[in-house]
Amino acid sequence: MSKMLKPGINVKPGSSKENKTGSWRNYYPKFDHAKCIACGTCETYCPEGIIFGDKEHKYDADLDYCKGCGICANICPVKCIEMLLEVR
């Protein structure tokens, strides 16, 4: 046997990042950094896991992947995220 048996289909971990799911979006989140208290709730609750930030820089979403679901805007305790119609 010169070749190793390779059962199943093997793909690279995390390779789904090639899918830029941002193209699905109808609405995009706009973060008001003046109002943001940097609690990180939006980061916890993003189904895609693509909201990033810290106390100093406040929070933003990676629009390459954001599907525009609006959970972040709905959950924000100070309502500093607004969902705006995407214009392409």
Partner 1 sequence: MEDLKQKLMKKHLLAPGHTACAGCGEALGMRLIVDAIGPNCIIANATGCSEIFTSKYPQSAWEVPWVHSLFENSSAIASGVEVALKARGKTGIKVVAMGGDGATADIGIGCISGMWERGHNILYVCLDNEAYMNTGIQRSSQTPFNASTTTSPSGSESMGNQTLKKDMIAIANAHRVKYVATVSLANPKDLERKVKKAVETVGPSYIHFQAPCPLGWGFDSDKAVEIAKLAINTGLFPVIEYEDGQLVKVQKIAKKVPVEDYLKTQSRFRHLLKSDAGKKVIAQIQTIADANIEKFGLV
Site residues for partner 1 per CB under 8 A: 8-9, 11-21, 24-25, 43-50, 52-54, 57, 60, 62, 65, 67-71, 73-75, 83
Which of 35/44 has CB closer to partner 1? 44
Smallest gap from residue 17 Cβ to partner 1 (A): 5
Q: What is the torsion angle, in degrees rounded to the nearest 10, for the CA atoms of residue 78, residue 68, residue 63 and residue 20?
A: 150
Query: Running DSSP on this structure, what letter comes out for residue 5?
Result: P
Find the helix or strand (DSSP H, E) in which 40 lies: none
Smallest gap from residue 88 Cβ to partner 1 (A): 16
Smallest gap from residue 12 Cβ to partner 1 (A): 7
Which of 7/34 has CB closer to partner 1? 7
Q: Mark residue 20 as left, alpha or beta (left: phi above 0; alpha: psi -120 to 50; beta: remaining).
A: beta
Which of 19/35 has CB closer to partner 1? 19
Q: Which residue has the tokens 């799911």?
A: 21
